Structure 1
Amino acid sequence: MALPSDFTLLQVVPELETGGAELSALEIARAVTTAGGRALVASRGGRMVSRLEADGGRLVTLPAHSKNPLVILGNAARLVDLIRREKVSLVHARSRAPAFSALWAAQATGTPFVATYHGIYKAKSGLKRWYNAVMTRGDLVIANSDYTRAHVLAEHRIDPAKVVAIPRGVDLDRFDPAHIAPERVDALNQAWGIAPDDRRTKILLAGRLTRIKGHLTIVEAAQRLRAQGRDDFLILFAGDDQGRTDYRQELAGAIAAAGLQEAIRIVGHCDDMPAAFLLCDLAILPTTVPESFGRAAVEPQAMGRPVIAAAHGGTLETVVAGETGWLAPPGDAGAWADALAEAIDLGPAGRDRMGAAAQVRARSLYRVEAMCEATLTAYERVLEARA
């Protein structure tokens, strides 16, 4: 069975600023339009809207980010009207708060409903477990890794046949070193104040400026390296604070207190991540809570860069210790200092060999096309079951 010729997909996501769920929504929208369907995304909007529209998708502006119960009810009514007006074939939710609106609207209109579990949602109470379970109340649950699928099954006790693991994909055309003009890397070096003759090992932590990403662990690890007399590294924190100015200030204060202003830089949001990964010698993902997948560990590997990642969650699937990178205990600054020292001491040739192995593995396992094909197949399965 193929998607119907009049197939219209509605995805619901809080906003389109940055992040894995948002990027996956754009990639699926492009796959649907390429296959001849229509792709709508209901969202508050954000900096990624232009990319959605360039790929043939359409934004429906909705306060989908709100957790206010009255706004959620209002969103459900708006989505009912949208589903009927646009003859939506399937609704796909990618976050819990908007999933309530999307699920109610899908049920009211008899429309198939799919949800993607993009993260590991913790539940310390029955109420929170009920809130999280909205993602499991439709026709199918998509988990973004085997780790996430196991969590969903253990947490919600639902039929295993109702949960499918589809690993996130990486756009291997976009994340291809051969496609990156040297001028793009030069522009980032200039923007980030890196001199052409700076021979330090460049280490990139790409991710939102939020505590769970582990920046403070890296500040402490860098302090330990400095205490050993090392000054052969430059660490770059690239990511948006998304309004978390208090944490950004705390981070800047920790860097200053440790005397690491020359060794660690907060460079802000980056629109050209392929060039950023090519600029660096090494990428790190020191998250303090498990990543459900960890695209920020796969993208640099696709660019031929080895990765040091926290040894938990989905990164245990995407990073092979000793082959494509290193795994370090989350939150253990001493272990991270040791791993960083080992990666630096490996030298350019050793890191290049490891990066080449990482690139081969990433390109074989994490193609965005494979993720899109599997997702469209899941849609077909749901439509067939409904039919």
Structure 2
Amino acid sequence: MAKVTILQAVPRLETGGSEQSTVEIVQALTRTGAQALVATEGGRMATAVQEAGGEILPLPMASKNPLTILANARRLAKIVEERDVTLIHARSRAPAWSAFLAARRTKRPFVTTYHGAYSSRVPFKTLYSSVMARGDRVIANSHYTAALIAARHHVTQERMRVIYRGIDLSRFEPRSIVLSRLEALRAAWGVREGQPIVLHAARLTSWKGQRYVIEAAQKMLAANELGDAVVILAGDDQGRGSYRGELEAQIQAAGLQDHVRLVGHCDDIPAAFALAHVAVVASIGAETFGRTSIESQAAGCPVIVTDVGAAPENVIPASRSAGFTGWVVPTADSAALAASLVEALTLSPETRAAIGQRARAHVASRFTLQEMQRATLAVYDELLGTELAAGSR
């Protein structure tokens, strides 16, 4: 088989799902002996690309300036010819326009991954986002996203592939998380051993639904159903100091100072979910995938998600009494959330352990990193006639 060179285009390599997936595909390509190039402005994860065997091509890919996009297209076309790039894969709109133009100019296959919902309130936005549906293959990260693409851009099923994001299950293996990691988090959060933890892990922004988690805790406290449980809101405010202030005021007004804590970013998410009694994804806006609902289940932690976007795809809901791994509640409904939290917090240890085992098995069957990598390389194989997927195992 001739040497395969795949060029991925992303704005920056800071943090997030598209950036993590970029690194993971570099790892998979390197294992097959293919060459992996990444056109990007760089960022903290650029080192991870290089450590995985990939090569960074520094270009101003985050720019939305039309002149810069056109200039990037010319630069990419030149790189494609000089480096004999076999296929181009774009993961965000601005770089996708440059990559699309370069692919058409050089007659190379073009793949996109639709990572976000993308606003379509005005015609210009719909046109701008349409590049993500112009790939020879369009990868959606959930069935919710696939339906969105089909409705907005009329992409046929023949061109669309649904590939869930995957996680490294070994990172969340409970036996691999040593006691010192759990103790470090308890100390950082001010939680006693054995004290039940409700974990909401998301950046502090209103659409992530922190207000409703606090409201649910308030209802539980008023009904004498909260006990000594602690609600941990883990996430950076990313400059949204006013929103953090609103949450702090809400906690104070509800008399929840002993029960709800804003702890900032958590660097050890596997340990956090291993420590939690139940996880919450309270988003009021659509998640196109919802990684934390997968990570919590991988750690054996039951999860409550809101009925919006792709989140319900990720759990086996309690409404299906056999084999359930979590609860699905209406969006922005603190009473329903409180009811599910009470149910989760009063599970017997044996029942909770059984749910945790089912949750891990559920993730292992649908959401592994290895399957995401294999399925993505299989898309490349469709267009190139190669056998990359077989070599990635």
* Length-normalised TM-score, structure 1: 0.91
- The amino acid that maps onto 1:266 is L
> Is residue 2:212 matched to residue 1:211?
no
Q: Counterpart in 2 of 1:264?
A: 260
> Is residue 2:63 matched to residue 1:62?
no
**How far apart, in 1, do the equivalents of 2:153 and 2:380 lie?**
22
Q: Which residues of 2 match residues 73-152 of structure 1 at below 5 A?
A: 73-152=70-149
Cα gap change, 1:345 to 1:130, in 2 (>3 Å):
same
* Length-normalised TM-score, structure 2: 0.90
Cα gap change, 1:210 to 1:85, in 2 (>3 Å):
farther
Is the contact between residue 171 and residue 368 of structure 1 (CA under 8 Å) also seen in structure 2? Answer: yes
- The amino acid that maps onto 1:27 is E
Q: Which residues of 2 match residues 14-33 of structure 1 at below 5 A?
A: 14-33=11-30
How far does residue 305 in structure 1 lie from its aligned partner after superposition?
0.9
**How far apart, in 2, do the equivalents of 1:224 and 1:167 lie?**
35
- The amino acid that maps onto 2:384 is L
How far does residue 265 in structure 1 lie from its aligned partner after superposition?
1.9
How far does residue 141 in structure 1 lie from its aligned partner after superposition?
0.2
Of 218, 225, 228, the residue aligned with 2:223 is 228
How far does residue 347 in structure 1 lie from its aligned partner after superposition?
4.0
Of 42, 45, 52, the residue aligned with 1:45 is 42
> Is residue 2:245 matched to residue 1:244?
no
**How far apart, in 2, do the equivalents of 1:5 and 1:272 lie?**
41
Q: Counterpart in 1 of 2:391?
A: none
> Is residue 2:300 matched to residue 1:304?
yes
Name the SS for the 2:262 alignment partner: strand
Cα gap change, 1:267 to 1:9, in 2 (>3 Å):
farther
> Is residue 2:287 matched to residue 1:291?
yes
How far does residue 28 in structure 1 lie from its aligned partner after superposition?
1.0
**How far apart, in 2, do the equivalents of 1:81 and 1:189 lie?**
53
Q: Counterpart in 2 of 1:368?
A: 369
> Is residue 2:279 matched to residue 1:278?
no
Cα gap change, 1:75 to 1:363, in 2 (>3 Å):
same
- The amino acid that maps onto 1:181 is V
Greater Cα offset, 143-152 or 65-74: 65-74
> Is residue 2:155 matched to residue 1:158?
yes
Q: Counterpart in 2 of 1:337?
A: 338
Is the contact between residue 283 and residue 305 of structure 1 (CA under 8 Å) also seen in structure 2? Answer: yes
Q: Which runs of 5+ in 1 are unaligned?
A: none
Q: What does the per-residue CA deviation read over 1:185-211, in whole Å, with 9 as the maximum and x for residues that have no partner?
A: 22222333334x3x3311111222222
**How far apart, in 2, do the equivalents of 1:53 and 1:279 lie?**
33
Cα gap change, 1:264 to 1:49, in 2 (>3 Å):
farther
Name the SS for the 2:239 alignment partner: coil
- The amino acid that maps onto 1:77 is R
> Is residue 2:6 matched to residue 1:9?
yes
Q: What does the per-residue CA deviation read over 1:5-51, in whole Å, with 9 as the maximum and x for residues that have no partner?
A: 42222212222222222221111111011111122222333333333
Is the contact between residue 5 and residue 37 of structure 1 (CA under 8 Å) also seen in structure 2? Answer: no
Q: Counterpart in 2 of 1:328?
A: 329
- The amino acid that maps onto 2:12 is E
Is the contact between residue 300 and residue 357 of structure 2 (CA under 8 Å) also seen in structure 1? Answer: yes
- The amino acid that maps onto 2:272 is A
Greater Cα offset, 66-75 or 370-379: 66-75
Q: Which runs of 5+ in 2 are unaligned?
A: 319-323, 387-393
Is the contact between residue 311 and residue 329 of structure 1 (CA under 8 Å) also seen in structure 2? Answer: yes
How far does residue 361 in structure 1 lie from its aligned partner after superposition?
1.2
Is the contact between residue 191 and residue 230 of structure 2 (CA under 8 Å) also seen in structure 1? Answer: no
Name the SS for the 1:160 alignment partner: coil
Cα gap change, 1:85 to 1:185, in 2 (>3 Å):
farther
**How far apart, in 1, do the equivalents of 2:353 and 2:385 lie?**
47
Tell me the C-alpha RMSD between the 2 structures: 2.1
How far does residue 61 in structure 1 lie from its aligned partner after superposition?
3.2
**How far apart, in 2, do the equivalents of 1:25 and 1:375 lie?**
11
How far does residue 80 in structure 1 lie from its aligned partner after superposition?
3.0
- The amino acid that maps onto 2:316 is V
Name the SS for the 1:267 alignment partner: strand
Ranges of 4+ aligned residues in structure 1 off by more than 4 Å: none
Is the contact between residue 231 and residue 263 of structure 1 (CA under 8 Å) also seen in structure 2? Answer: no
**How far apart, in 1, do the equivalents of 2:172 and 2:59 lie?**
31
- The amino acid that maps onto 2:336 is A
Greater Cα offset, 90-99 or 299-308: 90-99
**How far apart, in 1, do the equivalents of 2:246 and 2:2 lie?**
53
